[in-house]
Structure 1
Amino acid sequence: MILLLAGTKDGRELAADLISAGFSVLASVTTSYGGALLQEIPGVIVKIGRLDAAGMQRLVDEHRIKGILDATHPFAVEISQLAQDVACTSGRPYLRWERPSAALPESSLLYRVQDWDGVAEKISDLQARSVFLAVGVNHLAFIVGHPLLSLCSFTARVLPLPEAVSTCLRVGLKPQQIVALQGPGSRELNRALFEHFQADALVTKESGPEGEKVAAALDLKIPVVLVERPVADSEGHVVSDKDEVIYWAKQVEGQQTIF
């Protein structure tokens, strides 16, 4: 059985591909929403909830896991490191799935930064006042409460989940500043959102499906602050081709030498 750490559309697609290829899959996901989406795939065993090292090790032992496929979000560096540690400790092969980066246009309005301090500094430099945030919820408090951004008004696009909306309210956003919407959306939809909220800057992450958001903002001459994805510190092989995932799974199930 393969342990698939999911949580993104890529993870669901990989689960379906592995099942179709005849493999047994235990998919771990953090949220009940993600779990419900995975449960739509016939044959997948779904584990819902956050995992620590002990919890992941229990899954590996109880389900006789033969390999760990890490298809978590590119910015979920903690769980990826945890998965590598458990794989190493338990002697299981580890494979990291990296979704390909979006092809983004060259533009003087596209600003790449390496971290969240860089986001605050760049927004301040741009003197933006109406900032559209498409960054998830984990860093909302940091951005909304940053002293450099005290004059900014924010709109946050988040998943349509109670916990996501609650986080927005907890950091001080009002209901009219929250867009609860499953993405990715079309270029036209994103353009309409930016126009409606009168955004004069977009902040998003280099996670893979950000191309339409970025293109829509640039259509409107809106500056884009793009947080570059963390550099994977992976001791295991990293792939972005689904055929390579299937090949790896065949090698794992056969207990043969793999990369």
Structure 2
Amino acid sequence: MKIFLLGGTKDSINIIEFIKNNYDAHILTTTTTEYGAKLAQEGGSDDTIARPLLKDEIKEIIINENFDVLIDATHPFAAHITQTSASIAKELEIPFIRFERPTTNLENIDTSHIHYVNSFDEAGKLIGENFHQGNVLHFAGANTMEEILKYVPVERFYPRILKVESSIEKCKSLNVDPTHIIPMKGAASIEENLDLIEKYNAKVMITKESGDIGGVIEKIEAANEKNVAVIMIQRPKIDELNKNDIVSNLDELDIKLKNFF
């Protein structure tokens, strides 16, 4: 079984390990960064591609190398690549699986500090208009900083990012003070988030609704304890997705693969 895996998330590493342990499979994992590719290799991926791919490039690789299935395990907010992968699978008539981590269960969590928005532009406007005290912790990735900084003074802005060249360059281009950059290595614990809030005198925290694996609960709990506002960007809705193609855990993935093969 030859699997083309769109990765770059912790979910994708779990998928690689699961498939390699349970199937006779060759996996090619594509990520947008060298760091993501390194983690995929360590997880057991047979091959990796460490750069963004155009739609035609993905199609060409799938056709030329006779891949049997396309799995999209990209981030819930990578709407464009999910739209693209769904349309590729349809065009090529190849089995397609979208691995979508469940949304965060906030049933027993105090949500009084959360302000829900639908975009980063909306988040920036909300902060610019309503939150004028203290600093802003940005826990939503380097590629989303620009929209926030249209409305928030860079002097108040503290991004937690992967210290990879592309992210550092993005910070430089936006005049983010290097001393404001918080290096990221996986999801932070409640204690780590509390430390960051105190250290940087934060009154606002920006996060995506990225699921439990993205550390959302730990961010909310820390924010509640320190009376910090949480600006939460809700997941984009992707019309191209067929709900029958979506799985949300490894057991469901296993059933899909067994059905296909």
TM-score, length of structure 2 as denominator length: 0.91
Q: CA deviation at 1:71?
A: 0.4
Give ranges in structure 1 of 5+ residues lacking alignment: 255-259
> Is 1:139 the counterpart of 2:144 in the alignment?
yes
* 1:2/1:249 contact within 8 Å kept: no
Whichever residue aligns with residue 14 of structure 1, its letter is I
* 1:29/1:50 contact within 8 Å kept: yes
* 1:161/1:180 contact within 8 Å kept: no
**Structure 1 residue ranges (4+ consecutive) displaced by more than 6 angstroms after TM superposition:** none
* 2:154/2:176 contact within 8 Å kept: no
Whichever residue aligns with residue 133 of structure 1, its letter is H
* 2:139/2:206 contact within 8 Å kept: yes
Choose from 219, 222, 225 the match for 2:225: 219
Choose from 164, 171, 174 the match for 1:168: 171
Tell me which residue corresponds to 1:122.
Answer: 126
Q: Which moved more, 1:230-239 or 1:204-213?
A: 230-239
Choose from 165, 180, 185 the match for 1:182: 185
> Is 1:48 the counterpart of 2:53 in the alignment?
no
Q: 1:150 to 1:87 in 2, by over 3 A?
A: same
SS for the counterpart of 1:65 is: coil
Give ranges in structure 2 of 5+ residues lacking alignment: none
Tell me which residue corresponds to 2:248.
Answer: 240
Q: CA deviation at 1:129?
A: 4.0
* 1:206/1:229 contact within 8 Å kept: yes
Q: 1:152 to 1:110 in 2, by over 3 A?
A: farther
Tell me which residue corresponds to 2:76.
Answer: 74
Question: Partners of 1:151 and 1:136 in 2: how far apart?
Answer: 16
* 1:19/1:44 contact within 8 Å kept: no
TM-score, length of structure 1 as denominator length: 0.92
Q: CA deviation at 1:248?
A: 1.4
Tell me which residue corresponds to 2:21.
Answer: 20
Question: Partners of 2:118 and 2:45 in 1: how far apart?
Answer: 40
SS for the counterpart of 2:28 is: strand
Q: CA deviation at 1:138?
A: 1.3
| Higher helix fraction (1 or 2) | 2
Question: Partners of 1:224 and 1:43 in 2: how far apart?
Answer: 36
Whichever residue aligns with residue 222 of structure 1, its letter is V
Question: Partners of 1:230 and 1:120 in 2: how far apart?
Answer: 17
The aligned runs of 1:24-39 (5 Å cut-off) are 24-39=26-41
Q: 1:110 to 1:93 in 2, by over 3 A?
A: same
